[in-house]
Structure 1
Amino acid sequence: MNPINEILFFFSLLGAFNGLLLAVYFSLIAKKEGHRHYFLALLILMLSIRVIKSVFFYFNPHLSDVFIQIGLSACVLVGPSLYLYISYDRKINWIIHTAPFLIVVGLLCILYPYSEYRELWSQLIVRGIYLQWLIYIVASLQYIKPIIRKIKSRQKLDNIDIWQLSIATCIFLIWLAYGTAAYTSYIVGALSFSFLFYLVFLLIIFRNSKQPVFYQEKERYKNKVISEENILKIEQLLPSVIEREMFLDPDFTLDQAAKELKISKHVLSQYLNERLNKSFSTFINEYRIEKAKVLLQNKSNYSVESIGYESGFSSKSSFFTAFKKITGKTPSEFQRAQVS
Structure 2
Amino acid sequence: MNFENPILFFICSLGVFNGFLVAIYFLLFNKQKRIPNFLFGLLVLFLSIRIGKSVYRIFMPKEMIDITIMQIGLSACFLIGISLFYYLKSSIENKQQIPKSWKLHFLMLFLIIITVGIVKPYKSNYEFWGTFIWVIYSTWGLYLIASAFILKDIFYKLFSKVEKCTTAEYWLLAVLIGNILIYIAYIIGYYYLYFIGTITFSLVFYGLLFFFLSKNNRETIFRDIPQKYAAKKIEDTEATELIDKLRILIEKDELYKNSDIKLQKVAKELQLTSHKLSQLLNDNLGKSFSVFINDYRVEEAKKLLKESDKLTLEAIGYEAGFSSKSNFYATFKKVVGKTPSEYKSQF
Normalising by the smaller structure, the TM-score range is: 0.5 to 0.7
> Which residue matches 1:52?
52
> Which residue matches 1:319?
none
Tell me the distance in 1 between the aligned counterparts of 2:39 and 2:203. 21
Task: Report deviation, 1:183.
Answer: 2.8
> Which residue matches 1:68?
70
> Which residue matches 2:18?
18
Q: 1:184 aligns with which of 180, 192, 207?
A: 192
- Please tell me whether Structure 1 or Structure 2 has the larger radius of gyration of its CA atoms: 2
Q: Secondary structure at the match of 1:163?
A: helix
> Which residue matches 2:288?
252
Q: Which runs of 4+ in 1 moved over 6 A?
A: 1-4, 231-236
> Which residue matches 1:121?
129
Kept after mapping to 1: 8 A contact 2:259/2:322: no
> Which residue matches 2:43?
43
Task: Report deviation, 1:236.
Answer: 7.9
Task: Report deviation, 1:116.
Answer: 0.4
Tell me the distance in 2 between the aligned counterparts of 1:253 and 1:138. 32
> For residues 1-340 of structure 1, what are the structure 2 equivalents within 5 Å?
5-28=5-28, 32-60=32-60, 61-62=62-63, 63-88=65-90, 89=93, 92=99, 93-123=101-131, 125-154=132-161, 155-206=163-214, 207-208=217-218, 230=258, 239=268, 247-248=278-279, 249=282, 252=288, 254=290, 256-257=292-293, 260=296, 262-265=320-323
Tell me the distance in 2 between the aligned counterparts of 1:114 and 1:171. 26
Tell me the distance in 2 between the aligned counterparts of 1:102 and 1:232. 54
Aligned residue pairs, count: 249
Tell me the distance in 2 between the aligned counterparts of 1:69 and 1:167. 26
Kept after mapping to 2: 8 A contact 1:30/1:36: no
- 147-156 vs 46-55, greater mean Cα deviation: 147-156
Q: Secondary structure at the match of 1:32?
A: coil
TM-score scaled to structure 2, two decimals?
0.64
Which consecutive unaligned segments of at least 5 residues does structure 2 have?
A: 221-256, 298-319, 328-347
Tell me the distance in 2 between the aligned counterparts of 1:72 and 1:127. 11
Task: Report deviation, 1:34.
Answer: 1.0
Change (3 A) 1:163 1:179: same
Which consecutive unaligned segments of at least 5 residues does structure 1 have?
A: 211-228, 270-340
Kept after mapping to 2: 8 A contact 1:258/1:265: no
Q: Secondary structure at the match of 1:160?
A: helix
Change (3 A) 1:147 1:71: same
Percent identity over paired residues: 29
Q: Secondary structure at the match of 2:105?
A: coil
Kept after mapping to 2: 8 A contact 1:241/1:260: no
Task: Report deviation, 1:254.
Answer: 3.9
